[in-house]
């Protein structure tokens, strides 16, 4: 995990707990952000950040925890919980002891999630569509199969064409929505410039995603990015039948 001389984020692989230690000031915000996001994109499900041994030199730096929680809010099956004995952090659910925080983590419903690691080849888009069809069938969201397949095709094709790295496709339901993300290992961020001119080939991938999804975005992570979108079943009402 990301470390420096003053602040460190260490993962307990068995428990989903991240220990944040050392002295936190504004210079350590990037270390904490990267450490938390690295863990959250590496495995689905919520994690607990244990702040018991963290000393805070600049209270403003504590906003990094709420910031990270906002950044992953629309990712599939992701959330940040805190063990915060000081009670000083706002914007994230917190408990005063690690036992209480891990108990809350254990009591949280197991996230329904489907994911696969895919190579950067043309075939990846077809495999990603199969994953989407499988997940929507499992979660009784048949109306989202078509729009989600459109979105994941564009996401996978963008990785193949631009990032050229392995990718992880992850999706999970939340109420009547489907949260979909593709993680790759390129820092290059997607650029949406609006509708492409009719005489220009390509350039419509993000426009298609924006058309079928109510929201979408891209989050920088330490060794790449996560491109995500959220599709709502209500938006498809009356379009199938």
Distance separating alpha carbons of residues 111 and 93, to the nearest angstrom: 18
Domain range holding 196? 114-236
163 shares a domain with 103: no
Burial class (CB in 10 A: 0-12, 13-18, 19+), 194: exposed
Question: H-type helices in the chain, by residue range?
Answer: 29-42, 63-72, 98-107, 123-138, 145-158, 205-212
- pLDDT for 106: 85
- pLDDT for 119: 97
Q: How many CA atoms lie within 13 A of 157 on its CB side?
A: 15
Q: Is 241 part of any domain?
A: no
Q: How confident is the model at residue 197 (pLDDT cuts 50, 70, 90)?
A: very low
- Domain's final residue, options 64, 82, 107: 107
Residue 172: its H or E element: strand 167-174
Q: How confident is the model at residue 201 (pLDDT cuts 50, 70, 90)?
A: very low
- Domain's final residue, options 81, 107, 133: 107
- Domain's final residue, options 83, 107, 131: 107
81 shares a domain with 168: no
Q: Is 67 part of any domain?
A: yes
Its pTM stands at 0.88
- pLDDT for 94: 97
Q: Report pLDDT digits (tens) over 29-78.
A: 999 999 999 999 998 999 999 999 999 999 999 999 999 999 999 999 99
Give the mean pLDDT of 146-164. 96
pLDDT at 159 over 90: yes
Number of domains in the chain: 2
Give the mean pLDDT of 124-129. 97
Q: Is 1 part of any domain?
A: no
127 shares a domain with 102: no
Inter-CA distances, 171 with 5, 51, 156, 175, 195, Å: 37, 30, 13, 13, 27
Is 54 strand, coil or helix?
A: strand
Q: Is 2 part of any domain?
A: no
CATH of the domain at 212: 3.30.565.10
- pLDDT for 192: 60
- pLDDT for 204: 58
Q: Is 155 part of any domain?
A: yes
CATH of the domain at 91: 3.30.750.24
């Amino acid at each position: 995990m990301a470390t420096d001389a003053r602040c460190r984020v260490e993962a307990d692989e068995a428990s989903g707990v991240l220990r944040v230690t050392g002295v936190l000031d504004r210079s350590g915000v990037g270390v904490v952000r990267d450490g938390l996001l690295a863990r959250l994109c590496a495995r689905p499900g919520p994690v607990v950040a244990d702040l018991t041994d963290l000393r805070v030199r600049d209270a403003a730096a504590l906003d990094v925890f709420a910031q990270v929680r906002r950044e992953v809010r629309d990712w599939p099956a992701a959330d940040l919980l805190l063990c915060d004995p000081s009670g000083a952090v706002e914007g994230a659910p917190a408990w005063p002891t690690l036992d209480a925080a891990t108990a809350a983590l254990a009591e949280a419903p197991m996230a329904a999630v489907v994911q696969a690691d895919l190579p950067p080849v043309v075939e990846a888009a077809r495999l990603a569509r199969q994953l989407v069809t499988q997940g929507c069938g499992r979660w009784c969201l048949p109306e989202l199969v078509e729009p989600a397949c459109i979105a994941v095709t564009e996401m996978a094709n963008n990785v193949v064409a631009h990032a050229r790295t392995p990718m992880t496709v992850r999706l999970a339901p939340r109420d009547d929505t489907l949260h979909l993300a593709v993680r790759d290992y390129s820092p290059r961020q997607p650029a949406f410039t609006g509708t492409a001119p009719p005489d220009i080939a390509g350039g419509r991938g993000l426009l298609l995603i924006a058309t079928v999804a109510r929201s979408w975005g891209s989050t920088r992570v330490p060794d790449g990015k996560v491109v995500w979108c959220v599709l709502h079943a209500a938006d498809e009402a009356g379009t199938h039948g």
